[in-house]
Amino acid sequence: MIIFLASDHAGFALKRKIVEYLQKEGLEVVDKGPSEYVEEDDYPDFISLAAQEVAKNSTENKGIIIGGTGQGEAIVANRFKGVRAMVYYGGALDIIKISREHNDSNMLSVGARFVPENEALKAIDLWLQTPFSNEERHVRRIKKIDLYPTE
């Protein structure tokens, strides 16, 4: 598994902390940008790069994307066939677990303006450790999602 990361300016500092944390955990991480803080950057430019990589091998690779709310970032990521991005901007961690068990989410979008670093790392750990349930009803639903065009 390779974990692809990307952010916008609002998520830049948190992304750097996440990259450092994941590397210390021994995980393979690829940072798709930005490589420096630029307040006027456009998140689709970077998020699309991470989503493209996850889409190439959506059963093995994962992506973590970070923005102010995480909403726009998830919208961009979900435009790519095979990508199932979920948004986390704080609160109950049950949503993280369910997104993996029921939806086999392969991208996690974090709202940096709402989630402190320690909570983000806890959510990421849970997301990476929770397997997809492979229950027939969830497999069936994901297959239906994959039928929709992504143009």
For the chain, give every domain's residue range: 2-147
- Rounded distance, CA 117 to CA 124, Å? 10
pLDDT tens for residues 49-97? Answer: 999 999 999 889 999 999 999 999 999 999 999 999 999 999 999 999 9
Burial 39-54 (b: 16+ CB within 10 A, else e): eebebbebbbbbbebb
pLDDT for res 149: 76
pLDDT tens for residues 35-54? Answer: 999 999 999 999 999 999 99
CATH 3.60.15.10 fits 2-147, yes or no: no
- Rounded distance, CA 132 to CA 26, Å? 22
Which residues carry out catalysis? 73, 102
In 16-61, the DSSP E strands lie at 28-31
Provide the total of helices (H) and of strands (E) in the chain, helices listed first: 6, 5
In three-state secondary structure terms, 13 is: helix
- Rounded distance, CA 37 to CA 60, Å? 30
Give the Cα-Cα-Cα angle 28, 7, 151 (nearest 5 degrees).
95
With bands split at pLDDT 50, 70 and 90, how would you rate the model's confidence at 151?
low
